[in-house]
Amino acid sequence: MGNLHTYCIYVCVSHIRFWHGDNLPFDGPGGILAHAFFPRTHREGDIHFDFDESWTVGNELGTDLLQVAAHEFGHVLGLLHSLEPGAIMSPFYSFSYPLQLSEDDKKGIQYLYGPRPQTLLQIPTETNEIITSAPDACHTDFDAVSVIRGELFFFKASYAWRIREGRLQAGYPALASRHWRGIPEKIGAAYEDKKGNIWFFEGSNYWVFDAEHKIKGPDPLHTIGLPVTDIQAALCLKEDHVHRTYFFKSGNYWRLDSQDTAFQRSIQEHWSGIPDEIDAAFQDAHGFVIFISRRQYWKFDSVQRKVLEGYPRSVGADFFGCSMP
């Protein structure tokens, strides 16, 4: 133990409900179980447990308090989430008894408190939560998909998956509100405009963010010239050095012009071969438009005005590496 450097931290544990003064509200039974604050943050050492969970110890009759507490103490010590199944620091709760550290858990804590590494780990300045479950990307359709800051984000319910250079990033899926606080729990469509602002749509409203900072919303869709609600997909398309914004719903699309007025057309007039009911659309790095409907996607050539041969293909297989049934 002589080689270990020491780090002293005071821990405050609370069982609380819903809004509790840190802008990270709990959500009742299920969902978010607890969260903790990392070292060197303004609330370091604080751990909050959701009072509304059915807490138990050593059995599957409820949520095991010791297992969740061990996870949160890991965050208090500075550990990030682990992608290793069954690890204490996995972001998703699954009952395991007796409580044991995985090899990844051990390596993480040794990295922080064993012999000092050549480069120090950058500890984040926000909390991390442990949540009960998230949709399986291999067995779900998605509510929205968008390229944001050059990365591909898939949205389902309150969760987001983040893909960079074709690879799912560590720590995902995660709650979308970790990036964009103030968006609704479910979104119907999303896109990034030519200025880099991110637009989210749900029901009759929209929200606009500059990076992770909300600058507008919720505002009614009619204020931007859209005569419909419940948009299913949104697309910012760069064609001939001009950015055009399209919105899709039930076999029709609307394009906003510079005067913020929209005209309606049938999808088949402009996007022949695409399903009438689509869930998401985005332009890929090669200029093709990707249309997603349920668990399949179509790649559309905007110059030739046609779907490429070999489509539709599987979203799960091509974007998430899922095995085909």
Q: Does residue 4 lie in a domain region?
A: no
Does 69 carry a binding-site annotation? no
| 185 in active site | no
pLDDT of residue 7: 45
280 with 146: CB under 8 angstroms? yes
pLDDT of residue 8: 47
Does 230 carry a binding-site annotation? no
Whole-number Å distance between alpha carbons of 124 and 277: 41
pLDDT of residue 208: 95
Tell whether 150 and 282 lie within a shared domain.
yes
Q: pLDDT below 50 — which residues of the chain?
A: 1-9, 120
Tokens of 192: 């990034």
Whole-number Å distance between alpha carbons of 163 and 170: 9
Tell whether 119 and 141 lie within a shared domain.
no
Tell whether 111 and 141 lie within a shared domain.
no
Which residues, listed in sequence order, are joined to residue 298 by a DSSP beta bridge?
291
Does 35 carry a binding-site annotation? yes
Tell whether 316 and 184 lie within a shared domain.
yes
Tell whether 145 and 127 lie within a shared domain.
no
- Boundary of a domain, candidates 99, 131, 163: 131
- Boundary of a domain, candidates 131, 157, 178: 131
Q: Which of 44, 60, 72, 239 is an active site residue? A: 72
Domain at 83, CATH number: 3.40.390.10
What's the domain count of the chain?
2
Does 71 carry a binding-site annotation? yes
Domain at 155, CATH number: 2.110.10.10
Distance of CA 92 to the CA centre of its chain: 14
Does 210 carry a binding-site annotation? no
Tell whether 175 and 278 lie within a shared domain.
yes
- Nearest alpha-carbon partner for 37 in 105, 111, 125: 125
Tokens of 287: 């200029």
- Boundary of a domain, candidates 109, 131, 153: 131
Domain span at 88: 12-131
Q: Strands 127-131 and 63-64: what pairing?
A: unpaired
130 with 123: CB under 8 angstroms? no
Tell whether 79 and 199 lie within a shared domain.
no
How long a stretch of residues is the chain?
A: 325
pLDDT of residue 154: 97
How do residues 278-302 score in pLDDT, each as one tens digit? 999 999 989 999 999 999 999 999 8
DSSP reduced 3-state for 66: helix
Whole-number Å distance between alpha carbons of 76 and 99: 18
Asked if omega into 29 is within 30° of 0 (cis), the reply is: no
Does 219 carry a binding-site annotation? no
pLDDT of residue 124: 54
Tell whether 167 and 126 lie within a shared domain.
no
